[in-house]
Structure 1
Amino acid sequence: MRFFRSAAAAYGSRVIGVVLSGLLNDGAAGLEAVARCGGLALVQDPADAIADEMPRSALAAVAAGLPVPSARLGDVLSELVREPAGPRIPVPPDIRLEVDIAAGERVDSSILSRIADPAAITCPNCHGVLSTVRGSRPLRFRCQVGHALTADVVAKEQENAVDEALRVALRVVEERAELVSRMAADGRNSGRRAVAEMYEERATEYRNYAETIRRAVLLSMAPPAPQEDEGGQDGPG
Structure 2
Amino acid sequence: MPVPSRTRDLVVVGASAGGVEALRAFVAGLPADLPAAVCVVLHLPSGGNSALASILSRSGPLPAFTAENGQPLEKGCVYVAPPGHHLLVPDGVLHLSHGPTENGHRPAVDVLFRSAAVSHGPRTIGVQLSGALDDGAAGMVALAARGGLVIVQDPDDALYRSMPESVLRYTEADHVLPAGKMGEVVREHAGHVVDEDVVDDVSPLTKMEALVASRDGGAVADEVNDFGVPSGLSCPDCSGGLVRLNDTSTRFRCRVGHAWTADALLEAQSTTLEKALWTALRTLEEKATLARRMHDGALGKYHERLVSRYRRTEEEANEAATVLREHLLSGALHDQAVSETG
> TM-score, normalising length from structure 1?
0.86
* AA partner of residue 207 (structure 1): N
Please name the residue that 1:127 is paired with.
239
Residue 184 of structure 1 aligns with an amino acid whose one-letter code is: H
- Structure 2 SS opposite 1:74: helix
- The partner residue of 1:22 within 128, 131, 138 is 131
C-alpha distance in structure 1 between counterparts of 2:204 and 2:159, whole Å: 36
Greater Cα shift, 200-209 or 128-137: 128-137
**1:40 and 2:152 matched:** no
Deviation at 1:9, TM superposition (A): 0.9
1:163 touches 1:220 (CA, 8 Å); kept in 2?
no
Deviation at 1:17, TM superposition (A): 0.8
Q: Give per-residue Cα distances to partners, 1:6-49, cap 9 Å, x unaligned.
A: 11011111111101011221211211111111211111000010
Alignment of 1:1-237 (within 5 A): 1-64=110-173, 66-86=175-195, 87-104=198-215, 108-137=220-249, 139-190=250-301, 192-224=303-335
Segments of structure 2 that go 5 or more residues without pairing to the other structure are 1-109
Q: How far is 1:212 from its partner?
A: 2.2
Q: Quick check: 2:220–2:257 contact (8 Å CA) kept in 1?
A: no
Q: Which range moves more in the overlay, 4-13 or 65-74?
A: 65-74
The whole-number CA distance in structure 1 between the counterparts of 2:293 and 2:218 is: 57
Q: Is this contact kept in 2: 1:12–1:89, CA < 8 A?
A: no
Q: Show structure 1 runs of 5+ residues with no match.
A: 228-237
The C-alpha deviation readout for 1:195-220, integer Å capped at 9, x for no partner, is 11111111111112112221231233
Moved more, 213-222 or 194-203: 213-222
| Deviation of 1:82 (Å) | 4.2
Local SS of the residue matching 2:202? coil
The match for 2:53 is none
Structure 1 counterpart of 2:214, one-letter code: A
Secondary structure in 2 aligned to 1:83?
A: coil
Letter matched to residue 222 of structure 1: L
Q: 1:220 to 1:196 in 2, by over 3 A?
A: same
Q: Percent identity?
A: 34
Tell me, in whole angstroms, the C-alpha distance in 1 between the residues paired with 2:191 and 2:129. 22
TM-score, normalised with respect to structure 2: 0.61
Using the alignment, how far apart are the partners of 2:205 and 2:146 within structure 1? 11
Query: Quick check: which one's helix share is greater?
Result: 1
* Aligned partner letter, 1:74: G
> For the residues of structure 1 that align with 2:248 and 2:174, how far apart are their CA atoms?
16
CA distance in 2, matches of 1:33, 1:202: 58
For each residue in 1:170-206, what CA deviation from the matched residue of structure 2 results, as whole angstroms up to 9, or x when unmatched? 1111111111122222222336321111111111111
Aligned residue for 2:334, secondary structure, equals coil
Alignment partners' CA distance in 2, 1:210 and 1:106: 43
Distance 1:12 1:5 in 2: 9
